[in-house]
Amino acid sequence: MASITSDIGNQSGTLPKAAQPDAPTQEPMIWVNGQMMPKSQASVSVFDHGLLYGDGIFEGIRVYNGKIFKLQQHMDRLYECADKIFLDIGVSREEMIKIQRQCVQANNITNGYIRLVVTRGEGSLGLNPYQCPKAGVICIADTIALFKPEMYEKGMRVVLANRPKTPIECLDPRVKTLNYLNNIMAKVEAIHLSKELGITKPEDQLLEVIMLSTDGKVSEGSGDNIFIIKDGKVFTPPSEVGILEGITRRFVKDELCPMLGLEVEEKLFTIDEVYDADEVFLTGSAAEMIAVREVLTHDNLKHTGTHTISEGEGPITNALRTKFREIVTSDDVPED
């Protein structure tokens, strides 16, 4: 491991040029329940249970060089999540893939983002999902930029959320449902603390959190999975702690780390182990890979401490992100 870490440490830190999101040339075209229509005309019923109750599922998927990154894995998760909430999508896997490709083509997307949403569909004002005869299917192909470029270069600052992660026994976070209020309320803590501290520099903004399980174990961010690096070894929480099994997380864990000869272990760990890590980074389809340089703590939005992880993106994180960008900017973007 020492020689591997040494090799990584000799990385120049210069990343391949990132694929820039395509500039929209017209009003976005959205697929809604069997029809492709302009964004200004796209709508769903006010009786749709996705709107009324957050009853549905979704996928956020990246498009690189015209390829839909890890498309098959996203489809696996979509249909598995549908089964777990007893939702009949009513569209075959092959047709769902065709819909996404049509949306990408209709919006002239070469590098962008797909948001695929399946709702329970239109029904009554009651909770009964079986009064919704047909699921709703929405596909959006557009661009996304969660964080400023400066954050990728310098590493971001995050907040330890006071709000715990919803336990698996209550609502399994491995099911990517439309109900994200637990995550949103945690994220709000970071945004409000950022305002409370008067932070104005883009690279210093507090936009993400680390959420703990109800028994104090590290789970994930509001929209990202977390990895820590200690003594050249990479660790990430297991899904049993209550996390979404991220597609980018799996790519880093099962493919990128082995490519670089890095050992990865899924294990439970505490926030103190995050503070003591040599490097910390987050992964997600929208965020891709981003280092964490500081973790701030608070009590009812009163800043109580700052824990510095690193001065910027560490060498192993840099090596992994470099490899990630090499792959997604290549002519062989994996759709498996």
Interatomic CA distance for residues 150 and 325, integer angstroms? 17
Residues 261 and 313 in one domain: yes
Interatomic CA distance for residues 58 and 82, integer angstroms? 9
pLDDT tens for 145-164 read: 889 888 998 999 999 999 99
Residues 96 and 170 in one domain: no
**Is residue 229 predicted with pLDDT exceeding 90?**
yes
Residue 124 belongs to domain with CATH number: 3.30.470.10
pLDDT tens for 5-56 read: 334 444 434 444 444 455 545 899 999 999 999 999 999 999 999 999 999 9
pLDDT tens for 66-118 read: 999 999 999 999 999 999 999 999 999 999 999 999 999 999 999 999 999 99
What does the CA dihedral 273, 156, 144, 71 come to, rounded to 10 degrees?
Answer: -30
Residues 180 and 43 in one domain: no
Interatomic CA distance for residues 32 and 185, integer angstroms? 29
- Backbone phi, then psi, for 208, in 5-degree steps? -140, 160
Residues 317 and 195 in one domain: yes
Phi-psi region of 156 (alpha: psi -120 to 50; beta: other; left: phi over 0): beta
Which domain covers residue 280, as residue numbers? 147-328
pLDDT tens for 167-199 read: 999 999 999 999 999 999 999 999 999 999 999
pTM: 0.91
Please say which residue of 107, 142, 177 terminates a domain.
142
Count CA atoms within 13 Å of residue 305 on its CB side.
8
pLDDT tens for 200-212 read: 998 999 999 999 9
* Number of domains into which the chain is organized: 2
> What integer pLDDT is reported at residue 21 of this predicted model?
52
> What integer pLDDT is reported at residue 25 of this predicted model?
53
Are 54 and 62 in contact by the 8 Å Cβ rule? The answer is: no
